[in-house]
Structure formats: C-alpha cells, structure tokens
A and B are shown apart, each in its own frame.
Chain A
Amino acid sequence: MDFELSKEHQLLQRAVREFAEAEIAPLSAQIEEKKEIPRNLIEKMAEFGLFGVPFAREYGGAGAGEMGYCLMMEEIGKVSSSVAALLGAHIGIGSMAIYLDGTEEQKRKYLVPLARGEKIAAFALTESGAGSDAASIQLSAVRDGNHYVLNGSKIWITNGPIADVIGLFAVTDKALGARGGVTAFIVEKGFSGFSIGTIDEKMGIQGSSTGELVFEDCRVPVDNVLGQFGAGFITAMKALDIGRMGLGAASLGGAEAALQKSLEYAKYREQFGRPIAHKQAIQFMIADMATEIEALRSLVYRTAWMADTGQEFRRLADICKLFGSEVASRAADRAVQIHGGMGYMRDYFVERMYRDARIGEIFEGTNEIQRIVIATDLFRELGVRIRP
C-alpha cells in the first residue's frame, strides 16, 4: 500500500492551493455579498485549467483523473464553497455526463469548450415535484421529425443562470419511468423555447447561481440525445457518483479551513489570562475535528484511487458525500463555538462556513437518501431487496 500522491498530483495540489489563496480567497467575501462569481475570475480559472481537471487532455482537460479532481475540489473548498459548487456542478455532474456517455462528436462539440472553461455546464434533474424521488420527473420530450419537443421545468439548478450547456433529463416514455423511460439531452442556452429564472435568496453559497429552467415547446435536435435513448437515468446516476465524491472532497477542504481558523483563533484569543487553546474544552473540539478530517481524507483519496483504477466505487462515493458533508457541518459548528460571539457575526468567515456547509447535506441527494442507498446496497449483497 502506498499513501504517497504522485509527483504530478503533488504539484497540482500545490499549484491549486497557491491559486486559490492568491486569486479566490481575497474575493470570497465579495462573491457572497454580490451573489456572483466575477467574470474575470472565471476567466483566470479557465486559463489555469480548473474547469477540466479530470478530463483527458485530448478533450481539453488536464488529464489529472479523479484524484486530481478531488485534490482540486479540496483546495477550492477551503476558500469558497460557491466556487466549489460552480466547479462541482460544471465538472462533476454537468460535463461529466457528456464525458461518460457522449458520442465522439458530442465530446468534440461540447466537452472540449467545457473542459477549457470557455463554456459553463449545468446538470438538470430536480423538479418541483421530484426531488429525492428523482425517478418521478415529469418534464417530457416528444419526438417531432429530427427534433424532440420539450415541455416542463426544472428547479434549483446550480449554474443554471450562467450555463451555456445543460445536461437535462426528460421523460420519453412515461410507462417505463426510470427504467428505460428517461432520456438525457444536451441543451444549449440558445435553443428556442428555453428560458431561465434566477433564484437568489439562499441560506448559503450565495455566490453560486441557482436557477429555474423552463421549457415551452423547446426544440432539441435528435443529435443531442446523450447516451442511449431511454438510459438517461443511468447516465444521471453515473455522473452523480463522481459528483458525490467531489462533494466529499470539497467538504474535506471546508472542514480543514474550519479547523485552521479555529486553531488560529484559539491561539490568540485570551480569556482568564491565557489563550483559550489551553482550555481542554477547546482542545477536545479541535482534536475531534482533526480526527474526522483525517478519516475523511483517507476515504476521499481512496475513493478517487478506486475510480481512477477502474474499480467499482459507487458505494464509497455515496459514503464520501454522506460522511463528508456531516464532517464539514460539524467542523463549521465547532468553529463557530470556538469563535464565541465572533463566530456568530455576519460575514465573518466561520459564520459563512456554517451556512455554506449546510447545503452539502441536501443537494446531490439528501443524506437520508444516501443512507437508504448505502444500506440498500449492503443488503443487496445479502440477497435482501429493499424497496423505497
């Protein structure tokens, strides 16, 4: 067993860390305040190569694999959850769907500019009536000559308002449902009959744009069917595996930042004549944070390694998401406590972290759903079929 990162991954990790600290961290408060990631930061990120980390270089990516993707998400997660959400939706699920199941032509046309960061991707599955029960989506696609005509809407789509390319999941056969009745489509921003509304009051990750996508007789060419007709749900689940692993990695970064801030504060804040670092109550919180962080790090890196070596990693990806988001939430909660009243002050780093961390337990499948999926998978091995 070898726990050393490859040399290229070590350099990638350091480069992303330096970039994140110098280019993103100074803007992270402003990003929340203005509820927007500045265009010129997105351009810098694109030039640096952040938008295509796991994809092969022939498709405009960095060729750094899932390990590179996780290392990147960890570093970004330390400085801005909104930027991590942008990259997670863009790479982990939006572009990933095309990378995994797109035809060579679709990859050339869509993936290359996405990987280079010239275009932004989104992944649209959730509807107002279909959240956890994603198989019950209603948005319909009906064939008309060389097109499909789409009707319906999607909500809470990360990057929706800024996306150029959307991986969209629609019902093509109501009777079959998720088992053969859902098809994935690649939708361009400019397609007629497609409009976007911005949802901009959120508890956290306010710099990440979230949108409602509305389709009224939107015409999508048949060439834009992504993957096999009727197999869209499988495409969605495969992309979400990568997404959830990446979410675990971003959570790892968030938790590490919470620990770092707590250490610094405990070292300087004096009460009863000494820094609070000398109080055992503070030390215990710090030690618990560090313990969970190390467990999460091993989990995330191992999952990435399994993905890169072609092994089955789905259950581990779900565990990354579940454990990661809860470690990050607990770390943020402890960080607020260690900071006392300071930690409760609006726009102070840990207060923001506390709000930002919360979304990790909800999106890309709630943690309740992750627990169900993990348990279902474990029981399946024993021949017990769990029904939702």
Chain B
Amino acid sequence: MELNSKIPEGPVEKKWDNHRFNMKLVNPANKRKYHIIVVGTGLAGASAAASLAELGYNVTAMSYHESPRRAHSIAAQGGINAPKNYKNDGDSIWRLFYDTVKGGDFRAREANVYRLAQVSNSIIDQCVAQGVPFAREYGGLLDNRSFGGAQVSRTFYARGQTGQQLLLGAYSALERQIGKGQVKFFDRREMLDLVVIDGQARGVITRNLRDGSIESHVADAVILGTGGYANTFYLSTNAKACSGTAIWRAHKRGALFANPCYTQIHPTCIPVASDYQSKLTLMSESLRNDGRIWVPKKVGDKRNAKDIPEDERDYYLERRYPSFGNLVPRDVASRNAKAVCDEGRGVGDTGLAVYLDFADAIKRNGKAWVEEKYGNLFDMYHEITNENAYETPMRIYPAVHYTMGGLWVDYNLMSTIPGMYVLGEANFSDHGANRLGASALMQGLADGYFVIPYTIGDYLASSKFPKVGTDHAAFKDAQRGVDELIEKLISTRGTKTVDEFHKELGKIMWDYCGMGRNEAGLKKALELIPKLRDEFWKNVRVPGSSKSINPELEKAGRVADFMELAELMCQDALHREESCGGHFREEYQTEEGEAKRNDERFSYAAAWEFNGIGQPEVLNKEPLTFENVKQAQRSYK
C-alpha cells in the first residue's frame, strides 16, 4: 500500500500555518449537517468532541465507562509539557521539538512533532481558562518543574493529579456541549466494529454494556480516541479496562497498525508482589527529581538498606550518566534497573527491585519539605506496601506503561481508512520509539483541541457522503459478525477463566517482548501465542448471558483481541533488527550496553497490514527523514 503522510510543504516551522491556510473550510451554516462519531472520551476524545461541537458539528460521543470522567487519562500524575519558558531557563518551541525527536530516538515524524511543540502552549492557556487549578508560585503565576528527562522546567502540574484536572477540564467542556444537545453521549457503550462503506468510515457497532444490545451508529466521519494497549501484558500501570479492541477491530477493517512493538516500560513502579496482583501502580517520575536510585555493589547483598554503608552502594545512574544522573529518559532508566537486577544485585524479597532513596533529600531540606512535595505518593506507597518510605528507601521496578505504537495516521491524523481519524495514545504519531514524560497529556490534548478541529473540516468539505442508514448491508454484516463473536465466547463454556488466559499471555509478552528482546525469544513467543489463542477459543469460560451486564464477557472480547495484537507486536519486534528507544534488541547494543540504532535499514515507521488471523501481516514502510534534527546516537552521559 502506498503510504502518503501528507506532510505539508515548507520549512518545518511554517508547515502547520501553511497547511491551515490551504485546507478547505466547512461553511459555518453547513457544519450542523455533518455528523461525527467520537469513540472514547479520555483527554483526546473529550477535547475533540467538545471542540467539534463548539464549531457546530453534530457529535455522537461514546465510552465504555459510565462517564467521560472515568477514562484512564484521569490517572496521569506528573504533568504536561509546554515550552512557555516561564522559568527563563532557555526553553523554546524548537527545544521541545528537538528534545521530543531525540527522546523518541529518531523514529517519529519531524513535522508532527514540531506541530505538537507549537500548539502545546495554547493547551495550557485553554486549561487555565477552563479553571484547571495548576500549581502556582506565591506571586500567583504558574509553577513549573522539570520532569522525565528534560533539562528545562517546562512541566505544568496540579499536585500529583494533573491528568485528573486536565480530564475534568475537557470533561466539563464536553458536558457543557452535552447539556446543550450538541453532543449526544452514549455511556457504557463498547465499540466492537468499524463500518466501512465504499472505502469510507461511516459508522461503528457498539455493545450496550447495560443490557447487552448490539447497536449501529451512522456518521460522516469516525474519530477513535480509545487509548493504548499496554494491557496486552496483563500487568501494567494502565487502568483495568484499557484495551486494544477499538483500534484492533479497525485494523482488521483495513487501518494499518504502526510500530506495534514500541512499548514504554516506566522505571518507577511499585514492584510486583505476587500472583494475585491485578495491576501495577506507578510512583510518579517526579520522585526522580529528588530521590536517588541505587542497589548494593555486592551481588546477593541481603542486608537492610540502612545497614549498607555509603561506599557499598552503587548509584548506578549517577555513575553511568553523570550529566543526567537519575533523570535519564525512561527507557534508559528501566533498562539499567533490569541490568542490575539481572546481575543479582536487585533488592527486596523477589530481587526484582531497586531502591529510590530520599534520605539525602530529607537531610538537605527536611522531612516537611519532602512531605509537602511528595506526601501523597509516600502515603500511597505506604498503603500498598505497608512500608514507610521516609525511613526505608522505596523499592521500585519498571513496569509496562504506555504504547507508542498505534494506528498509522497521516499528518491530518487520518488513518489509512478515509474518514477514520485516530487521536491520543491510540495513534502512533509523535513519540517515536520512546515517549518523554509529560508529553502524552500534551499530545492527547493537542490532537483533540487544536489539530482535529481543523483537519477534519478539510475532509468533510472535500468528500461526498451518499446517504446511508443502519439498514445498509455493511451495518447488518458487521452487527452479525459481532453477535457471532459474542455467541462463540459465551458458548465455549470451557474450564479456564479469562484472567487466567490473560495472565499467561502477559507472561509470554513480558518474558519475550518486554524490556529486553532477542530473536530466539521472539520466535518462541510467536510459537506460544497462537497455541494459547487456540486454547482460548476452545477452553475459555465466560459465565452469564450476553444480554445483561457481564464484565467477564467484556474482558473476554478484549483478551481475544490482545491475543491477536500480541502476535503482531512480536512480529514487529522481530523484524526490527536494531534497538531504538523502548525497543531494545539485545543483539544490537553498543559496547556500553546502550541501544544501537540502524538508521540505514530502519529509519522508517513500520505500518502493518492485516492479512487474516494467524497470518503474517504485510509490512509497509513510511520512510522518516530528518532535516532539522541530526540523527545521532542518543547520549545522556
């Protein structure tokens, strides 16, 4: 398939302006004649739905949650970036652009990243106008902090609840439009298929989770803001319901899936305690600003942290990366934690943890200071582990956190299916092979508030929309397909629960497609996954009926999709014979153990085309060119 990224002409800093001028506009009086479906109302979906409704479009929004306010975005803690340069520390749009391209290990599209940096300042303005209570200085102006591998302070935050406050801002804008009748919101609806008619996305099929009924929704364009697929690994920092279902089913309808293997492993999570663990809790990365990470120098040193003298501790990040120290990007921090644990120097009962120590910060600034800055995180840590981190260092370990991969989109955020757009974590666009901290919130809101309202108009104004209804054969077929799938899940009546299958899949993925990957392991995973999938379809037990609230059935559908998506992730990881960002192929590393890219062979986005379940997918390449940031080996030394 020919991939046209539609990157506008001109120098990178002019592209978005030029493009906005060149795009067709929909006459204000005509906007209400267009109907747009927004699936997912996290940051990306809610901001898009509200903004499009404000412009006058007719919007249908839906979410499998009971309310838009429950989306996974609510859990983001740390903050959101914008190069306001309020701190006078040398920040600029160019620097944010540069940092993001470099942070993504040169696997993102320059033009998109530049636009992201460009519009990010407006996000902060918008949120403040909505009443988002960002942290402030005594003088009344906004406070910033440095975060996740940046050397400037450009992160805006609202305590440890930035995602919550930003989502509540977008939610309030959305509720305002729902109140006005400009958006019709369907709660507890799960999108289970995309309907494509004559090559255009024209609607979706949903299951009403309240009573199990299968519904059709028609529109002129469909927007997916359905989040990431980190839960393929079962254990991750994502909320329990996060899934790949919407994007996977759209993929099966023809949308290419780009860079599925790019997953982010977050370095600072509370370690796994045991088998019953249902999810992993992130400890905000901001802790790395003041906490020091270390392990014992000696292998197998089981003494308590406080009994290990200073000169027998290895502050390995500070040692290896003197200029960035504990603030190296996430992929680097995670890999190093794994490496020291693999050497046998990990701490805690399982040996799969490293210390994050605040003793020096407490000595320097006092306990009260630490408490004011991080008190809620220390409380959370205590609640979960029953340990007091003011007295003994926290134990942390990397966990699956975010997926940089997603549906392929062009510069307009349109997928390879005309009329279907993908926003937020669900698309692949801006973070390359590694996302920097505080930039997912920025991207989700950039997409929703400031990109899609323009780009969708161009499509609507320049396309024809033959009248279709839910009685169209394509809707009937899709409905039937969904019904059959559900029936199959319910009627299997096997012996293993959905969670048991999901845990097994997660373990395969973590072992072979996790922080370190190699050819043999990936090939092994590619044998194990189809076997597990076969067993799933023969032996899964889904109790209850399809015509009522049935959480087990909901999970079963999602796990069925993860089983297919997992295979593609491994296929992508196997084909990419280089290390870049979060994708670390053990065969390809520098002498110091850093990721070694192969720009000659792999400077492209890998966009995969579905080819039948269990069949290898077809690879399409979008070459990436770097005209503004020189492709170099990342160095944080």
Q: Do A and B bind each other?
A: no
